[in-house]
Amino acid sequence: MTLEDLARDSGLTRSYLSKVERGMSTPSIESALNIAKALGVTVDRLFGQQSEQDPITIVRGNGSIGGDAATHLSLVAGLQTDRVMRAFIVHPGKTQRRGRIMSHHEGEELLFVLTGEIAMQIGARNEHLKPGDCVQFDSTIPHKLTALTDEPAAALVVIAATA
């Protein structure tokens, strides 16, 4: 598949996909789902994770807290292709990344704030979220996250596919 084919099938630009491929940009959850779908692979395969056949999946943190803090987005669960949920740790910045206005994708989403304070816009609604706050919503509704303070912000995001 060429970069042009992937851009067409994923709805993303060729230049953005090139940056993702070279490790210069980390895809949003929406972009990761679109890229995986266009490639005909699962998100775990896209992130280089191998599926196991065991019905119980454990992803070890290796002493870290909440995925890889050095990246915007870390896949932490959902490694098996037959699972309906994928879990990520997202580290939103204080400014909007890559000029994205709002994200949206198929499924249902749950967001649990781990650290920091986060502004979440869901459609026309704006919420100020603090550690321990949890939001569950239809992820086809456009949404975005922005950190509100200098303290690093992190949230667990779980996406469940809808049938």
Give the residue among 162, 45, 147 at the shortest CA–CA distance from 109.
162
Q: In whole angstroms, how far apart are CA 63 and each of 50, 59, 79, 107, 132?
A: 21, 12, 20, 31, 21
What is the number of other CB atoms lying within 10 angstroms of the CB of residue 83?
A: 16
The helix (run of H) or strand (run of E) holding residue 37 is: helix 29-39
Structural domains of the chain sorted by starting position, each given as residue range(s) with its CATH number in brackets: 3-50+64-160 (2.60.120.10)
Predicted structure pTM score: 0.60
Residue 147, classed as helix, strand or coil, is strand
pLDDT in tens, the chain (163 residues): 788 888 998 999 999 998 888 888 878 878 888 888 888 777 777 776 655 555 545 455 555 455 455 555 555 555 556 667 777 888 888 775 555 566 777 788 888 899 899 998 888 889 999 998 888 888 888 888 889 988 888 888 888 876 5
What percent of the residues of the chain are helix, what percent strand, and what percent coil, each to the nearest 5?
Answer: 20, 30, 50
